[in-house]
Chain A
Amino acid sequence: MSGFHRFSITMRMMFMCILILPVFAGLVGVLMPAFGFFPALGETAVSLKPFSQLFANDNIVTMSWLSFSTGIFATLLALGGALLLVAVFYQRAWLNRIQHLLSPLLVVPHAAAAIAFLFILSPSGWLARLFSDATAANPLPPDWAFPYDPYGFSIILALTLKELPFIFLMLLSTLSQPQIELKVKAYLKVAQSLGYSHITAFIKIVIPMIYPHIRMPLLAVLAFATANVEIPLILGPNDPPTLAVAVLRWFNNVDLSMRFQASAAAVLQLIVTLAALLFWYLGERGVAKCSPRILLSGTRQWSDMGLTLFAAVVIGVYALIALLLVGSVFTWSVATYWPYADMLPQGVTFIHWQTALRSLAVPLGNSVLLAFGVTVFAVILVLLALEGEVQMTKGMSPALARIDRSIMHITLYLPLLVPGVAFLFGLVWFQQMYFSSLTWLHLFVSHLIYVLPYVFISLAIAYRRIDPRYIKVAYGLGKTPLTVFFAVKLPMLVTPIAVAFALGLAISFSQYLPTLLSAGGNIATVTTEAVAAASGSSRRLSAVYVVVQIIMPLCGFILAWWLPNLFFKPSLQATPSSQGVKVYESNP
C-alpha cells in the first residue's frame, strides 16, 4: 500500500470524525443541563427538574405538534409535487426548462426565502394590493391571518416551496445515474408496450424503484422541516411558536435559569424529530403494504390529462411565486414612499442600497472568506475521502464493503438528521470551555459540519461514475496511484468539482443558527444580518439584504458553470504533449 493510499484512507476517517464528533459532543453538552447539571450556574445535582419545568408549560403540546405537523405536511406536499413533476415531464422537453426554473430556487437561503414570503403574504404585500378596494379614498390593508397564522400554514407553504426543488433535483440526479437510467428507460418501454400510459407507467414502476435512492435526502428534509429555526422565526406564530423557536428563545432568555428548561426542550425537539421520522417510516410501510393492490390493478390509464394539467398548474404557481418573490423584494429595495394600495412605489431611490452596502461590507467579507475557507477544505477532504473509499474497499469482501458504505451513509446524514437546535448549543458550550478565543475555528467547524455532507453527496455521484477503464489503462501504463488521482481522475471531475464548490459556498452562505451560536454574534455574515434586519424597522433595507442573499450563491453557480468550460475543458486540453493524460487519445 502506497503512502498516498494510507493518506487517503486516513482522510476518510478524519472526514467521518468531523461529522460525528461535534454532533455527539453537542448532544452531551445539551443532555447535561437538561438533567440539571450545569456547574456554571451552581447546579451539579442530576435531576428531572428541567423536564418537569418544561412540561408544566401549557403550550408544550401545541408547540411540539406545530413542529411535527408543519414538518410532515411540508415534506409530504413537496414530495408529492416533485414526484408529480418528474412523472409528468420525464423524457419530455419541458423537464430541462423546469430544472432551470427550480435550480436557482434551491440555492436561495431559507432565511431569504422566508423574508421574501413575508413580503408577499403580508396584508400590505402585492397580493393584498391586487385585491384591494380601488374605489376607497384611503384604503386600509386587510387584517387577514397571514403571515404568523396560528396553525403554521405560512410555514408549511414556505417550506414546501423551498424543499420541492431539492427533492425534484434529487430525483433527477437519481434518474441520471447510468445503471438506473438504463433500467428505467427499458422498463418504461416494456410498460408502454403493454398499454400503460407514460405517466401511469412512471408512477407504478419507476417511483417504487427510485424511492429508496432518495429516501435519506428525504428524511433529511423531514428532519430539517421539523426543527428549522429561520422559517418559523420569520413567518410562524409566536404564541406559541414552534418548539425549535421556543428553544432558541429560552436559550437566549435574560433569566439564565431558563437554560435548563431550554436544554430539556432541545431534547424534546430531538424526540419530536425522531417521532416524525418514525411516523414517516410507518407511513412508508403502510404505503408498501397497500400499494401492490393499486400497482397490480391492471389499470393502464390514470387521468393523464388531469395529472398533466395539475403538474402544469404546479409549475405555473411556482413560476408566478418565484416572479412575485423576486419582483417584490427588488421593488421594495429601491422604493421611496409606497402607500397602500398603489401597485408601484411613488419613486425609485438607491438610498437603501447605499445604507445597506455600507453596513454590509464587513459581513459580506466575512461570509465570502468563511465560505471559501470551508468549501476549499471540504472539497479537498471529500475528494481524498472518496479516493480512500476506493482504496479501502478494494480488498474487502462485498458484504464488508456494503457495511462500510452504509456506515458512511449514516455518518453523512447525521448532521442533517439531528436538529441543529438540539446539538449546536451544547457544541458551543464545549467550544467555550476549551478554546474560547478561537472563534473563527468554531465557526469553521460548525459550517463544515453542514457543508461536508452536501459536497460529498454531490461529488460522490460523479466520482463513482468515473469509467474504471481509464484508471486501469493508466495503471497499465505504470502510473502511480498519486499520478492517477491527479492526472486522470481530477481532470475528469473538473465540472462536478466546480459545482460541488458552488454548492458548498451556497450552503455556507445560508447558515444562520451555526453562525449565530458559534461566533456568539461577534462575526456577522450576510445571513445573520438579514435575519436581524427582518425584525428591524425597515422593510426596504431588509429587501436589499434579501437581494444580496439571493445574488451571492447564484454568482457561485454561474462561475461554476462557466469557468470549467472556459479554462479546464479536459478534452480540449488533452494534447499529446501534456503529460499524464495520453489516455484520452484512445477515446476521442
Chain B
Amino acid sequence: MGFLYSANMQGATVQFHAWGGSAQVNGYLKWVSEQVEARYGIKVHHVKLADTSDAVSRVLAEKAAGNDNQGSVDLIWINGENFAAMSEHGLLLQNWVSQLANFPLTLPEKNTAMVTDFGLPTKGQEAPWGKAAMVFYYNQRYVSSPPKTLHELLQFAQRYPKRFSYPLPNDYLGISFLKYALLALNPDHRDVFYQPVTDTAFKQRSEVLWRFLDKLHPLMWKGGDYMVSQASTLQRLMSDGELLLAFSFTASEIPSAVKRYDLPQSIRTYAMQDGSIGNVHFIGIPFNSAHPEEAKTVVNFLLSPEAQAEKQKIAVWGDETVLDMAALNPMQQARFQSEPLHPSALPVSGIYQLLPEPHASWTDKLREAWFARYGERF
C-alpha cells in the first residue's frame, strides 16, 4: 500500500465536485460519504455541479490567484475535454493513481481504456470510476418499432416529426451523439478516428455527417431551432411525451426513472445495431487540493469491489464497474450478480458493438465545425 491513513485525517472534509443532476448519482455519493466517514473518519461533501466546467473554472481561478495548497476542490468527476483542459493547464495532481491499493483490480495493462481518456493517456492524473455506453429508449405507447440504425433514425424522424432531438454539442451527450453519427456514417474508415485529427481527414469524413444533419434538423423537436443544453432535459421531455425517442449514457437510469415515476411505464431501452459509443469516466484530484491524502483514501474506497458493486446495482445507480472480474476472487465476484430486470431496462448483453471514443482532437474539431455550421458557441 502506497500511503498510510494518518491520524490527522480524522474530521477532514473532502469536497467532491461532481455533476449533481441525477438523483441516483447523488444518492450513491451520499452512501459513499456515510461509508467513508464510518471507516476512515473522513467526511465527503458532494458539491453538486450543474456543469463540471464550473469546477474547472474554479480551480483555474485559484491557480490564477496563487492558491497552491488550499484549494476548495479535492475531488472532481471528469473525463474527455474537461480532463484534457485540466491536464493541459496543469490543474491535476500527478502520478497518484498507481499508489491506490485497489487500482490493480482494473487490470490496466489488459484494459487500456482504464488509463486512456478519449485517446489521451491519463498519466496517473485520474482514476477510472465507471463505464458507460450509449443506449436509446422510446415510448411504446406511441412507437411500436424504434429505429435500429442511424439511417432508420432519419426515417423515424420523418414518420414522427418533431419528436426527436439531441442536446447541444457542448453537452457531453450531445457531442457523443455526433460522434456516434460520424462513426456510424463512416463504417469503412474507422481507424482514422483513433489518430489525431487532420484537416483533410476531417473534411473527408464529416461531409456525410453534415448531409445527414441537414436533413435531420428540420425534423427535430422545435424544428431544430431550440436544442436543449443539458442531456437530462431529454429525459424530462420524454416523460412528457414531447419526445418519443431519446438516448442516454447510463442504461440503468432509465428503469430507475420509471420506478420513480419520472418516465412512463411504456418506456423501453435498446442499443443501436450499428454500434454504441462507449467510454470510461474518471476521478481526478486538483493540484492544489487541501486534503490530497484524504482524497486518495476516498478514491481507493470508490475502487473497492464493495463500492463498485453497490454502484452497479440498478436500484442504486447502475453504472457499470471498471473492475475486471478476472482480478476478483469468487466472493468479490458474487457481489456483482445482477437482480431480475425491469421491463424498461436494457436486455442483458443488449449492446451489439461497442464503439470506442475517438481521439480527443476529433471532439474539439467536431464541436467547432458544428457550431460554425449551425450556431454560435454558448
Asked if residues B240 and A41 are in contact (CB atoms below 8 Å), the reply is no
A540 to B239, CA, bound (A): 11
- Roughly how many angstroms separate A162 CA and B290 CA in the complex, as a whole number? 43
Name the residue in A59, A428, A436 with the highest tally of chain B Cβ atoms < 10 Å from its Cβ. Answer: A436
Residue ID in chain A nearest B88 by CB atoms: A256
> In the complex, how many angstroms separate the beta carbon of A18 from the nearest chain B beta carbon?
23
List CB contacts (< 8 Å) of A508-548 with chain B. 520-522, 524, 529, 531-533, 535-541
CA distance A110 to B58 in the complex (A): 26
Cα A432 to Cα B288 in complex, Å, equals 14
Q: Is the CB of A532 within 8 A of B64?
A: no
Q: Given the known inter-chain contacts A124-B242, A140-B142, A439-B72, please indicate yes or no for A539 contacting B236, CB distance below 8 A.
A: yes
Instruction: Among B54, B58, B222, B241, point to the contact of A339 (Cβ < 8 A).
Output: B241
Is B49 among interface residues, defined by CB-CB distance under 8 A?
A: yes
Bound CA–CA A43/B316 (angstroms): 46
Asked whether A256 lies within 8 Å of B85 as measured between CB atoms, the reply is: yes
In angstroms, how far is the closest chain B Cβ from the Cβ of A311? 35
Chain B residues contacting A436 (CB-CB under 8 Å) are 62, 65, 67, 70, 72
- Given known pairs A253-B53, A521-B49, the reply for A138 and B264 (CB within 8 Å) is no
On whether the beta carbons of B378 and A238 are closer than 8 Å, the reply is yes
Partner of A432, one of B30, B48, B67, B375: B67
A424 → B minimal CB distance (Å) = 13
Contact between B227 and A239 (Cβ–Cβ < 8 Å)? yes
In the bound complex, CA of A538 to CA of B25 (Å): 14
**B interface, how many residues as a size bin?**
35 or more
The size of the chain A interface, using a CB distance under 8 A, is 68
Cβ of A65 within 8 Å of any chain B Cβ, yes or no, is: no
Q: Which residues B56-88 have CB closer than 8 A to chain A?
A: 56-58, 60-67, 70, 72, 81-82, 85
User: Do B240 and A535 touch (CB < 8 A)?
Assistant: no
Known contacts A237-B226, A521-B55, A524-B47: A143-B241 contact under CB 8 Å:
no
Question: Does chain B have a CB within 8 A of A122?
Answer: yes
| Min CB gap A505→B, angstroms | 23
Contacts A123-B240, A337-B264, A349-B261 given; indicate if A252 touches B168 (C-beta within 8 A).
Answer: no
Contact, CB under 8 Å: B262 / A40: no
B226's partner among A239, A245, A349, A535 (CB-CB below 8 A) is A239
Chain A's closest residue to B374 (CB) is A239
- Say yes or no: A535 contacts B232, CB within 8 Å: yes
CB of B264 within 8 A of CB of A532, answer no
**Is A187 an interface residue, CB under 8 A from the partner?**
no
A335-B229 contact in complex given A238-B378, A536-B22, C-beta closer than 8 Å: no
Let me know if B276 is at the binding interface, CB within 8 A.
no
Pairwise interchain contact A539-B240, C-beta atoms closer than 8 A = yes
Residues of the A chain whose Cβ atoms lie less than 8 Å from the Cβ of B22: 536-537
Q: Indicate if B359 sits at the interface (CB-CB under 8 A).
A: no
Answer whether residue B312 sits at the interface, using C-beta atoms and an 8 A cutoff: no
**A173 is an interface residue with CB less than 8 A from chain B:** no
Give Cα A241–Cα B227 distance, bound, in whole angstroms: 12
A452 to chain B, nearest CB (A): 26
Interface residues of B in 250-301 (CB under 8 A from A): 253, 257, 260-262, 264-265
Interface residue A300 (Cβ < 8 Å from any Cβ of B): no
Q: Besides A352-B260, A355-B260, A540-B261, 5 other CB < 8 A contacts?
A: A124-B240, A143-B162, A148-B222, A238-B227, A338-B261
B residues apposed to A, CB below 8 Å = 15, 17, 20-23, 26-27, 30, 47-51, 53-58, 60-67, 70, 72, 81-82, 85, 89, 141-142, 162-163, 168, 170, 221-222, 225-227, 229-230, 232-233, 235-236, 239-242, 253, 257, 260-262, 264-265, 375-378
| 6 sample A-B contacts, Cβ–Cβ < 8 Å, listed by A number | A40-B60, A143-B242, A252-B57, A336-B261, A521-B58, A540-B262
